A and B are shown apart, each in its own frame.
Chain A
Amino acid sequence: MEYSSLLFIYAFFPLSLAAYYAVPAKFRDIVMLLLSMVFSGLFGIGFLVLLMVYTLVNYICGRVCGALRGRKSRSALIPFAAGMTFDIAAVFIFRVSCFSWLTRAMHFPEGFFPIGISLFTLSAVGYLADVCTGKQKAEKNYVRFALFIMMFPRLFMGPVLRYDIFTRILRSRKCSMQELSTGFSIFIKGLAKKVIAADTLYSMYSTVKVSDVKAISAGTAWLGITAYMLCLYFTLSGVADMGVGIGYCFGFRFPQSFNYPMFSSRIRYFAAKWHVQVIHWFRKYITRPLTARVSSRYVRKLVFLLAWALLGYWYGFDLSSAVWGMLMGAAIILENRFITSKTLKATGIIYTFVLTVLFAVFLAGDSVTGSVDYLLAMLGRTHALADGLTVYLLKSYLVVMLMTMYASTDLFRNMMLRSGTARIRNTLGAISPVSMVIVLIICTALIAYTGSSEMQIIKL
């Protein structure tokens, strides 16, 4: 059950809100856990069992790690290593296709994918590392820890949080109309991103993807990969927004994961705004520990590069995705070295956009050679700037592309924030309820036939 499905929006979500608010505050964590179990169970009993085993193993490893740390710091490494091995093995088994025999041997159904496993693995490993290093006390409350792993608003797209931040959010939950209103607004914004923007862009991208890469014109190749990049952004940020919105409705103020990264004026700004908590996780748990005692500038750069490659690998679990990460890391290093602050903002936006789109070829590709073929198409292998498909794409999708490009920037938000006059703000405030319902109606209409927005450009 996706967040962007009729079943979730019109049945599970309102019923779970009713159940949650119907019980006294002290029981709400348990209710939230039960709701999360039902939500997970709808993906299959196998997924629910996997999540519960996963939670239990990490809980026990955390507790043992915490207990041992008090006596001998070295022995705490054993449960940490055991937990981390379990977590990483789980993510590899389910995400790397060469381990599919193992999932079959474990009697998981054909095509089974534990959705969100990449994200809750980061959460779990980060928690164990913090407990092992003494930055975090081992959690004794099992319900709270289980919520950390499997709380349904965070299941699909995080945000990946440090355990202390998560518990702080749990403790400071606020249930009010303000929270509900903000939650619905963020949820509907995320729904629109997924259903209206991402799904349309996916159609555009898949139109190019099914074409023979050796025969398409440069224009078609550029349009295709631009659609992919925008689709990826709207899919990830849309699902993340929906999760955050749902969290707000239950009183949890989770931070947003994407802060308008498209059309940044530097690659490093792009990286700072893209999947914020995930990139922060890699910096905190990979780059920093590895470079803490290294004085050589080159080694530090190499580690930085490898961490980005690892991040890329985490997205796709293939070599091509790792190349994307490496290119991003290399671009940031080169940018820090050579690009001065005097570069014009407009030039910076163009260069950042072009580079991120070029790099995205590796994220989109199934293999490095396939990605190189696509890059050659972008560079005009067929000696044709445009073909019939380019015209078709422009005719069919130009307006959508321009609108989604605008929507991916923070221009509208800034305009709202800077609208000085109270009159404008009041007008916007007055149309807000109507506009939210209208967007919800449009999204509902778009998913009415299949019941959910099924197009998935990436599985995490």
Chain B
Amino acid sequence: MTSMTNKLTAAAVLLFIAVAGAASLINAVISGDKDNIAALPENSGQGYGSELEAAAAEKFAGRDGWIAFGSRVDSAMKGNIVNGVYVADDRLISAEGVSRKDLSRSVGYINSFAQAYDGAVYFAAVPTSAGVYGDKLPEHISRGAEKQLIDKLCGGLDTSIRCIDAYDLMKMMSDERIYFRSDTKWTMYGAYCVYRTVIQKLGSQPVSYDKYHIRHVTDQFYGDLYRKTLYMKCEPDILDIYEYSEGAEVLSCTGYDNDGYVEQIGLYDEEALESDDMYSLYLGGEYPLVRIRTDLNNDRHILVIGSRCAASFVPFLIQHYSEVTFVRPELMDRPLSDFLYPDDYEQTLFLFGIDSVTDSGLKYIEMR
């Protein structure tokens, strides 16, 4: 290479690196997340580098554009699998599979809860969209793995726990709009389909579908799988709200954080539709505990311990209980007994997405 070419190459690369680096720094400052810059991230044991790397990726200038471009290059090279997501003709499907790690530990926590608890315990594990639409995945990605995992989970549970099969139910309904195209979670209709079965097991009759007034609050929902790929041909999804005007009224809906801070919220937080996390529409935000009181006088109380996907299920329960308490162990940093007395509830329903059932937060539900 000539001297001029050398200078040009060095200058071009340096300029590009300097501009992109400076723009990312400015982006990080402008985005207002000053804590990330001022303080070193928490050291998780693998060094600060990995946390800083994640922060650098998060604040990288033009991140969405980079990811969208990277997705195109990736899918051209890797046969439609982008960042662990399979781009099928009509939907995005996670190709990463569900971890079996810590499964027996989770089963142990649930069993120990059931053994110390006086009421009836029910368990339902909800497959992800990959579990139901696995036949769209390339042959090598293990199909039916979620079914096996759910069976294994139910097989390990204490005999006093009634296991409800949500997998076969969802599989049967797979032609319906039960899962989002751009997300691993079920739609509210998917939740309704499972509710019909679950509530009968819990001893009530479900509210029929035609009694609900269904409102499409947005048709611009892009879920977690979309955010991984930014695949531009992905159609946005619709978020629904189910309203039953003749049914029970919500008297109060209260969110609690770990420090006991209380906030009055609604079953549906439509302000979340203006945020990046539209799914927070259901029981708004990230509360470890949400308590809903209704005007029903049946004195029936239910404790729902579940993952995020259960948030769109809980609104169906208010037609049957005077109090519904929804707990998300993944958001808890202290034992469940610090929040409530489980024995105050005659029924407890574990409702987890199969991808969240091994969450470490489950340790907090153990009762001693």
Contact surface of A with B, Cβ cutoff 8 Å: 1-2, 5-7, 9-11, 13-14, 41-45, 47, 109-112, 177-178, 180-182, 184-185, 188, 196, 200, 203-204, 207-208, 210-211, 388-389, 392, 395-397, 400, 426, 429-430, 432-434, 436-437, 440-442, 444-452
Inter-chain contact B56/A5, CB cutoff 8 Å: yes
Distance between B299 CB and nearest chain A CB, rounded to angstroms: 48
Q: What is the number of residues of chain B that contact chain A, defined by CB distance less than 8 Å? A: 52
Of B12, B53, B80, B142, the residue contacting A436 (CB under 8 A) is B12
Also in contact, A10 and B17, with CB within 8 A (given A44-B47, A47-B47, A109-B45): yes
For the complex, is B13 an interface residue (Cβ under 8 Å from A)?
Answer: yes
Q: What 0/1 readout, one digit per residue, does chain B (1-25) give for beta carbons within 8 Å of chain A?
A: 1111111111111101110110010
Minimum CB distance partner of A39 in chain B: B49
Jot down 17 A-B pairs with beta carbons below 8 A, ordered by A. Answer: A1-B53, A7-B49, A7-B53, A7-B56, A43-B46, A44-B43, A44-B49, A110-B45, A178-B6, A181-B9, A392-B79, A426-B2, A429-B5, A433-B8, A437-B12, A448-B70, A449-B67
Also in contact, A6 and B45, with CB within 8 A (given A42-B52, A397-B79, A446-B74): no
Inter-chain contact A451/B56, CB cutoff 8 Å: yes
Interface hub of A45, A109, A208, A445 (most chain B Cβ within 10 A): A445
Of B14, B16, B138, the residue contacting A392 (CB under 8 A) is B138
Residues of B within 8 A of A437 (CB): 12-13, 16
The secondary-structure label for the interface of chain A is helix
Of B14, B63, B139, the residue contacting A448 (CB under 8 A) is B63
For the complex, is B100 an interface residue (Cβ under 8 Å from A)?
Answer: no
Of A6, A43, A184, A400, the residue contacting B47 (CB under 8 A) is A43
Of B1, B45, B80, B142, the residue contacting A181 (CB under 8 A) is B1
State the CA gap A426–B88 with chains docked (Å): 45
Of A1, A44, A426, A450, the residue contacting B52 (CB under 8 A) is A1
State the CA gap A180–B10 with chains docked (Å): 6
Also in contact, A433 and B67, with CB within 8 A (given A6-B56, A6-B57, A42-B48): no
For the complex, is B228 an interface residue (Cβ under 8 Å from A)?
Answer: yes
For the complex, is B73 an interface residue (Cβ under 8 Å from A)?
Answer: yes
State the CA gap A442–B56 with chains docked (Å): 18
Inter-chain contact A452/B53, CB cutoff 8 Å: yes
Those 3 A-B pairs whose CB atoms lie nearest each other, nearest first:
A396-B79, A451-B57, A109-B45
For the complex, is B177 an interface residue (Cβ under 8 Å from A)?
Answer: no
Inter-chain contact A14/B13, CB cutoff 8 Å: no
Inter-chain contact A450/B57, CB cutoff 8 Å: yes
Minimum CB distance partner of A44 in chain B: B47
For the complex, is B78 an interface residue (Cβ under 8 Å from A)?
Answer: yes
Q: A9-B17, A110-B45, A434-B12 are in contact. List 5 more A-B contacts (CB 8 A).
A: A1-B47, A42-B52, A181-B1, A203-B78, A429-B1
Interface hub of A6, A182, A445 (most chain B Cβ within 10 A): A6
Residues of B within 8 A of A449 (CB): 57, 67, 70, 83, 228
Residues of B within 8 A of A450 (CB): 57, 83
